Amino acid sequence: MQTAQDIIKTVDRVVTAGPYTADWSSMKGYPVPSWYVDGKFGIFIHWGLYCVPAFGNEWYPRQMYLQGTSEFKHHVETYGPHTQFGYKDFIPMFKAEQFDPAQWAALFKQAGARFVVPVAEHHDGFAMYDCSISRWTAAQMGPRRDIVGELAAAVRQHDMVFGLSSHRAEHWWFMNGGRQFDSDVNDPQYQDFYGPATPIEGESGHLDSRPYPDAAHLDDWLARTCELVDKYQPQLVWFDWWIGHTAFKSYLQRFAAFYYNRAAEWDKGVSINYKMDAMPPDAAVLDIERGQLNDIAPNFWQTDTSVSKNSWGYISNHDYRTGESLIHDLIDIVSKNGALLLNIGPRPDGTIPETEQALLREIGRWLDVNREAIYGTRAWKVYGEGPTQVVAGQFQETKRAGFTAADVRFTRKDSTLYAILLGWPNNQEAVIYSLGANLQLGLGDIQRISLLGSPETLQWQREAGALRVKLPAHKPCDSAFTLKIETN
C-alpha cells in the first residue's frame, strides 16, 4: 500500500515546478472556467454508508455515538450495543447492487445539469473511490466497486463536467463521541477507519477549535485529496467548512497550487469551492450552503442545497422541497451571478428515489423551454424586482416566503435581456417596473418581445414607469416564464 508521504513527494514536486506556488498571491485572479460560469446547474450526490441506516441524516455516524441523541437510542434498539455493532458493520449491508452509473448520468443530463459532483469521502472516513492509502473503501469493501471512477466515466460520456467533494478534514473529530463509552471506536484494530476521533475543547466545528489537527492528519488530508485529483482529474473540487480551520491554511495553499498546476498540464479549466473565508474570493469560488445572496456578486459564486429539507443522504422520512421552489432558486441564483449545485441521496442499492428523479425531470422540463435564459447568460445591471426578500447567508433558505408573480429576475446574453416571471399574473399582464422608459439602466430600444416556449405574438407597451406585456392565454410551461426582450 502506498503511504501519504509517497504522494506528498509528488505533490511538492508539482508545486515547485509551477506555474502556481503555494501562496495566495500566486493564485490571485485565478480564472473561473467558462464551462462553470456558463453551465449554472450541477448535481451533488451524497451517497455513502450513512444511507444504510437511513435514519436522521448523513451525520448518523457521528450522532449514533453521541449519548442522548435519537440516533444513539435508535441504534441500540435496532442494532444492539456499539461494541457488537458499530458503524463499520454497515459496510457489508452497503451493496450498491443496482448502481448503474450510465443510468444516473442519463438522468442528470435529462435534468439539464452541466456538471456532476459526487461525494468522494464524507466525514465518516469511508472512501467511495479507490484510495491507495486506505483499506476502508468502496473499491475493497461493501460494493467492491470504484464508485467515483465509474461515475466519472459515465458523466463524461454524456458530455457533462465531472467534479467531486472531499470532507476528509472533519474526520479529525467526527467520531469522537465513541471515545466517551465502551464502543468499537476505541478498538485498536479499527483505528485506521474511525480515525483520530479527537475530543475537542468546546464546539467541534469551530474554526479555531483545539487541539489542532496534527501533522499526520494534515498530511493524510493533503495526500488523499491530491490523489483524488491525479486519479480522477475532476474539474471541480468541493470542500466543506473545516478546511477554513487555522491548521489547514498552509496545506490548503499547497493543495490549490498542486491542483491548478495539474490543470495547466491537462489544459483543462478547473475550480475549487470553499465556504466562508477559507480561501480568497479571487482564487476560488465561494459556496453558500442552503442559502443565497441578496444582490449581484462581483465574483461568480454557488449555492449548494438539497432536494430534501432534512437530509443530504438517503433517509426513510424525507421532507422534500417542491420542484417549483428549486426552479425559482436556480433562477434567483443565476440572476445574481451564481450557480446551483443541487443534491440528491441514492438508496443503499444504488437506486435514486422516485421522488428525487421526478424533481430532477421537472427541472429538466423547465430548462428545455427556458434554457437560453439560463445557460451562457450573465447578470444584468440589477438582478430583478418584486416583494419577496432573500436573506443572505448560509442556512437561510427557509427564511423567506415563496416567490410570487410580482417577482421578476433578469439575465442577459449580448443585446438580449431575459425577464423571468416567477409566477403567472392573474390578469395575464406582466408589469416590469425596472424596464420603464424613464429608468436609466441602459436597456436600449426594444425591438421585439417574445415568450419562450410560446408561438404567440405578444402585445407590449413601454411606458415611462414600466414595461407592460400582454401574455397569451396558455402557459408554455410551469413554475416560471421567460420574456425574451431583444434590443438594438
The model's pLDDT over 233-246, given as tens digits with 9 standing for 90+, comes to: 999 999 999 999 99
Query: Distance between CA atoms of 473 and 456, rounded to whole angstroms?
Result: 9
The three three-digit cell numbers of residue 481, written as one number: 416564464
Nearest to 275 by CA among 302, 248, 307, 309: 302
Lowest pLDDT segment from 123-137, 191-205, 391-405: 391-405
State how far Cα 325 lies from the chain centre: 17
On whether the CB atoms of residues 290 and 305 are closer than 8 A, the answer is yes
Distance between CA 361 and CA 342 in Å, rounded?
13
Q: What is the mean pLDDT of residues 94-98?
A: 98
The per-residue pLDDT for 40 is 98
Whether the bond between 19 and the residue before it is cis, its omega within 30 degrees of 0, is yes
- 3 state SS of 237: strand
Helix (H) or strand (E) holding 45: strand 41-45
> Distance between CA 152 and CA 157 in Å, rounded?
9
**Band (442; pLDDT cuts 50, 70, 90):** confident
pLDDT at 361: 98
Rounded CA gap, 290 and 316, in Å?
A: 21
Check residue 166 and give its pLDDT. Answer: 98
pLDDT at 174: 98
Q: Are 26 and 257 in contact (CB under 8 A)?
A: yes
CA distance 227 to 296: 36
The per-residue pLDDT for 439 is 87
How far is the C-alpha of 91 from the C-alpha of 408, rounded, in Å? Answer: 48
pLDDT for the residue 203: 83
pLDDT for 401 equals 78
The CA R_g of the chain, rounded to the nearest whole Å, is 24
Low-confidence winner among 29-43, 135-149, 200-214 (lowest mean pLDDT): 200-214
Q: How many other C-beta atoms lie within 10 A of the C-beta of residue 56?
A: 22
pLDDT digits (tens, 9 = 90+) for 313-365: 999 999 999 999 999 999 999 999 999 999 999 999 999 999 999 999 999 99
- Enumerate the β-bridge partners of residue 485: 417, 449
pLDDT at 68: 97
Give me the pLDDT at residue 204, please: 83
Domains along the chain with CATH numbers: 4-373 (3.20.20.80), 384-487 (2.60.40.1180)
Q: Please, which residues have CB within 8 angstroms of residue 148's CB and are 6 or more apart in sequence?
A: 118, 120, 128, 129, 130, 164, 228, 232
Looking at residue 99, what is its pLDDT? 98
Cβ atoms 155, 162 nearer than 8 A: yes
Residue 258: band (very low, low, confident or very high) from pLDDT cuts 50, 70, 90: very high
Does position 400 have pLDDT exceeding 80, yes or no? no
Predicted confidence at residue 271, as pLDDT, reads: 98
When pLDDT is cut at 50, 70 and 90, the band that residue 90 belongs to is: very high
- At residue 393, the pLDDT reads 92
pLDDT, tens digit, 9 for 90 and up, residues 164-182: 999 999 999 999 999 999 9
Sequence-ordered list of residues with C-beta below 8 angstroms from that of 228, at least 6 positions apart, any chain = 120, 129, 148, 164, 166, 234, 237
pLDDT of residue 397: 87
Whether residue 89 contacts residue 138, with contact meaning beta carbons closer than 8 Å, is answered with no
Q: Please give the distance of CA 283 from its chain centroid, rounded to a whole number.
A: 18
Residues 6+ apart with CB under 8 A from 233: 162, 262, 266, 268
Q: Which residues contact 339 (CB under 8 A, 6 or more apart)?
A: 36, 37, 39, 40, 41, 42, 300, 301, 302, 303, 333
Reported confidence tier of residue 205, pLDDT bands at 50, 70, 90: confident
Strand partners, 93: none
User: What are the cell numbers at 303?
Assistant: 449555492
Mean pLDDT of 135-156: 98
Helix, strand, coil in percent for the chain, rounding step 5: 35, 20, 45
pLDDT tens string 308-319: 999 999 999 999
Q: Is the peptide bond before 101 cis (omega within 30 degrees of 0)?
A: no
Identify the pLDDT of residue 363.
98
- Strands 338-344 and 301-306: what pairing? parallel
* pTM, rounded to two decimals: 0.98
In the numeric block, which cell numbers belong to residue 382? 440589477
User: Which three cell numbers, joined as nine digits, stand for 23?
Assistant: 501562496
Q: What does the mean pLDDT of the chain come to?
A: 97
Q: Are 5 and 219 in contact (CB under 8 A)?
A: yes
Kindly tell me if the per-residue pLDDT of 444 is higher than 90: no
Strand partners, 207: none
pLDDT (mean) for 28-55: 98
Under DSSP, is residue 70 helix (H, G, I), strand (E, B) or coil?
A: helix
Question: Band of the pLDDT at 263, cuts 50, 70, 90?
Answer: very high
356-392 pLDDT, tens per residue?
999 999 999 999 999 999 999 999 999 999 999 899 9
Q: What is the pLDDT of residue 461?
A: 97
Query: Alpha-carbon torsion 191, 170, 166, 19, what sign?
Result: negative
The pLDDT-based confidence of 441 (bands split at 50, 70, 90) is confident
Cell of 431: 408589469
Q: Which residues contact 314 (CB under 8 A, 6 or more apart)?
A: 47, 51, 54, 345, 346, 347, 348, 353
Dihedral sign computed on CA atoms, order 450, 453, 456, 459: negative
- What is the H or E stretch that residue 220 is in? helix 215-232
Quick one: which H or E segment has residue 254? helix 249-266
The pLDDT of residue 433: 96
